[in-house]
Amino acid sequence: MKKYKKIVRLVPLDHRRFKLLYIFSLIIVLSLFGRLIRLQVFNASDLQRKARLIQSSKTASLKKRRSIVDRNKRLIAYDKPLYKLWAHPKYFNFPGDSIKRVRSIEEVVKKLAPILEIKDEILLGKFDNKNSGIKLLDKISEEKAEKIKNLQISGLDLFKYSQRYYPQGELYSNLVGFVNDENKASAGLELHLDNYIKVINKSNLIKRGGDGTPLPDNSAPGDFISDYKSLGLTIDSKLQKASFNALSKQVSEWEAKKGFAIVMNVNNGQILSLVTVPSYDPNKFWHYDTELFKGWYSQDLFEPGSTFKPINLALALEEKVIHKDGLVEDIGKVNVGGWTLSNWNKKGNGYIDYPKVLQVSSNVGMVKIMQNLDPNIYWDWLKNLGINTNLETDLYESTAGQLKRKDLFVNQSIEPAVASFGKGFSISPLKLVQLHAALANGGFEVTPHVTSTFKERVNKNPKKQFFSHEVSTTILEWMETVVDKGSGSGVKIEGYRIAGKTGTSQKALNGSYTSKKVCSFVATLPVNDPKYVVLVVVDEPSKPYAYGATVAVPVAKEIIESLIVIEKIPPNIKDPGMIVKKP
């Protein structure tokens, strides 16, 4: 069957309709072009800003401080995370509410009060008819902050910050110091080692793709890693507490102005305990007099008195102006340059050997011994010992001791005479510890320090040797007799060889001596293998019969007993007192 094709007749386009289509298309093109111009030109900066907010996020600069721990990693200071709570009532909205609904302040308070443990009426009073920017509370714990977050109430903002906390209170305050309410270091190690303790991390932008994936940028490795380091101290908290309790009891009993006690390793200068009394609570530093914030053990100076006599005897032995088995006559007083110098009890001791000079603390004997040493050489020795120089340490910046000018010391005979028994010059307690450590370790200089990384941060200069090993050993043996037979007998512990020297010096004021005293005692142990030096200084005990033997020695004994247990120091098996007799 034959098929026929359908013929379609072409009808010319209506002129009006064509014009309308053309105009409509032109309008669309122009509109799109106008939109493009508005986006690319007029709204470019705003769109760019919005894009950056979506594509990148900023990490805030970390404003924190490293923790401080003792040698057993026990916390001494750390940053405690806390929160501030801000309210914006005009945005109050609960989960599930419509966007336009605004909850009342009373409704929000009803949910907040139980978490914050505050009465409703007190919390309501904080709003004070404001619509925004109301600080409700600070120092909110992480636990409470988490509960507030879980409420998911719009219009509540939590701001996280750190507050320094000192869990051991007054035990370390004079050593560690504190950080004030503005997070600024204000005393002690916190201030002196501020650049080492504070953590400085820069703010950074993290770039992200549309799906949130981090994109490569110029951030350095570790820019976003938290700092978990801590400042480690050489201090032992158990010994620190034992020393603090012993010193506090004695300062209180003798109604003294203040006291200081230190235990140091004589071979490396590591400080195992360092306490001062009175102390303060660094968590509430604003309650205390600023005088307490001072590290007087390295900044204040005192005349060491008789505790310096072993040092002088070492100088005399080094210069060979005396011999180990020599004697000196002590008639109780001696005239030097028109001045009469006498013993502490105004009594003479006759002909005595040098160990006896230390046992009875003979001033006259020391004057006569040191008169054998040329004043020029004597002064040079004192200078070489660093009497008038700053002590390099990681503690407070130390005060240099005071030593008379060389011309005065050499030309005025009274100066070397009084220096022979620790008068006429002054040093810090910390310097005295250093010198006695040198006597104990064979004559070598060590630097007192409390941080375990101290040696990494100072120049590694070769050790200076003050005294020969032979002289150091001799002096230590002489000091042992002070504990066995002399004024230091109160510190004797059966089975342990302990060397020591007491000191009682009058305080000078405006060039003349007053009735105020400084009582001290320095001990080294064990004599058969010297490892530790212990110094106790009690300033201005106000009761009668205050001497180094009565005031400082009892404190040292308690500290040494604790030290023996903590450090597991074995007794000397050669000590006759340790021999067990067969039944």
In a domain, 44, yes or no: no
Predicted local confidence at residue 574, as pLDDT = 60
Predicted local confidence at residue 567, as pLDDT = 96
In a domain, 64, yes or no: no
In a domain, 196, yes or no: no
Asked if residue 466 and residue 322 are part of one domain, the reply reads: yes
Range of lowest pLDDT (120-129, 205-214, 414-423, 526-535): 205-214
Predicted local confidence at residue 372, as pLDDT = 96
Predicted local confidence at residue 278, as pLDDT = 95
- Helix 309-318 vs helix 469-485: angle between axes, to the nearest 10 degrees? 140
Q: Which of 12-21, 208-217, 455-464, 550-559 has the highest mean pLDDT?
A: 550-559
Asked if residue 470 and residue 351 are part of one domain, the reply reads: yes
Looking at residues 540-546, what average pLDDT do you find? Answer: 94
* E strand map for 49-141: 56-59, 63-65, 67-69, 75-87, 134-140
Predicted local confidence at residue 10, as pLDDT = 67
Q: How confident is the model at residue 563 (pLDDT cuts 50, 70, 90)?
A: very high
Q: How confident is the model at residue 493 (pLDDT cuts 50, 70, 90)?
A: very high
Asked if residue 377 and residue 289 are part of one domain, the reply reads: yes
Predicted local confidence at residue 560, as pLDDT = 98
Contacts of 251 (CB under 8 A, 6+ apart): 258, 259, 277, 278, 538
Q: Which of 133, 149, 165 is the last residue of a domain?
A: 165
Asked if residue 274 and residue 157 are part of one domain, the reply reads: no
pLDDT at residue 35 tops 70: yes
Looking at residues 193-222, what average pLDDT do you find? Answer: 60
Q: Does 306 qualify as catalytic in the annotation? A: yes
Number of structural domains in the chain:
2
Asked if residue 444 and residue 355 are part of one domain, the reply reads: yes
When comparing pLDDT for 81 and 208, which is higher?
A: 81
When comparing pLDDT for 108 and 543, which is higher?
A: 543
Percent of the chain with pLDDT over 90: 56
Q: How confident is the model at residue 581 (pLDDT cuts 50, 70, 90)?
A: very low
Q: Which of 122, 148, 165 is the last residue of a domain?
A: 165
In a domain, 69, yes or no: no
In a domain, 85, yes or no: yes
Looking at residues 17-41, what average pLDDT do you find? Answer: 78
CATH number at residue 285: 3.40.710.10
Strands 156-165 and 134-140: what pairing? unpaired
Predicted local confidence at residue 231, as pLDDT = 92
Residue-wise pLDDT for 95-110, tens only, equals: 888 878 888 888 888 9
In a domain, 202, yes or no: no
Predicted local confidence at residue 579, as pLDDT = 39
Predicted local confidence at residue 46, as pLDDT = 62
Asked if residue 267 and residue 136 are part of one domain, the reply reads: no
Looking at residues 246-254, what average pLDDT do you find? Answer: 97
Asked if residue 111 and residue 243 are part of one domain, the reply reads: no
pLDDT at residue 225 tops 60: no
Q: Which of 178-192, 235-249, 289-303 has the highest mean pLDDT?
A: 235-249
Looking at residues 307-321, what average pLDDT do you find? Answer: 97
Looking at residues 481-485, what average pLDDT do you find? Answer: 96
Q: Is 340 exposed, middle or buried (CB count within 10 Å of its CB: 0-12, 13-18, 19+)?
A: exposed
Predicted local confidence at residue 50, as pLDDT = 58
Distance CA 243, CA 234 (A): 15
CATH number at residue 95: 3.90.1310.10
| Average pLDDT for the chain | 86
Q: How confident is the model at residue 261 (pLDDT cuts 50, 70, 90)?
A: very high
Predicted local confidence at residue 582, as pLDDT = 37
Asked if residue 464 and residue 340 are part of one domain, the reply reads: yes
Predicted local confidence at residue 134, as pLDDT = 83
Residue 482's alpha-carbon distances to 111, 263, 268, 307, 580, in angstroms, are: 72, 20, 26, 12, 26
Distance CA 439, CA 310 (A): 9
Range of lowest pLDDT (183-197, 293-307, 458-472): 458-472
The dihedral region occupied by 129, where left means phi > 0, alpha psi between -120 and 50, and beta the remainder, is left
Predicted local confidence at residue 119, as pLDDT = 87
Structure tokens at 484: 């066995």
pLDDT at residue 237 tops 80: yes
Asked if residue 290 and residue 154 are part of one domain, the reply reads: no
Looking at residues 318-338, what average pLDDT do you find? Answer: 94
Predicted local confidence at residue 95, as pLDDT = 87
Asked if residue 133 and residue 275 are part of one domain, the reply reads: no
In a domain, 174, yes or no: no
pLDDT at residue 432 tops 70: yes
In a domain, 383, yes or no: yes
Domain limits for position 144: 80-165
Q: How confident is the model at residue 297 (pLDDT cuts 50, 70, 90)?
A: confident
Predicted local confidence at residue 410, as pLDDT = 95
Percent of the chain with pLDDT over 70: 85
Predicted local confidence at residue 172, as pLDDT = 95
Structure tokens at 171: 């035990």
Predicted local confidence at residue 388, as pLDDT = 93
Predicted local confidence at residue 580, as pLDDT = 38
Q: How confident is the model at residue 378 (pLDDT cuts 50, 70, 90)?
A: very high
Asked if residue 244 and residue 149 are part of one domain, the reply reads: no
Considering the candidates 67, 243, 273, 306, report the single residue annotated as catalytic.
306
pLDDT at residue 207 tops 70: no
Predicted local confidence at residue 221, as pLDDT = 47
Q: Which of 112, 132, 165 is the last residue of a domain?
A: 165
**Burial code of 477-505, b = ≥16 C-beta within 10 A, e = fewer?**
ebbbbbbbebbbebbbbeebbbbbbbbbb
Residue 392's alpha-carbon distances to 294, 515, 533, 578, in angstroms, are: 18, 33, 19, 41
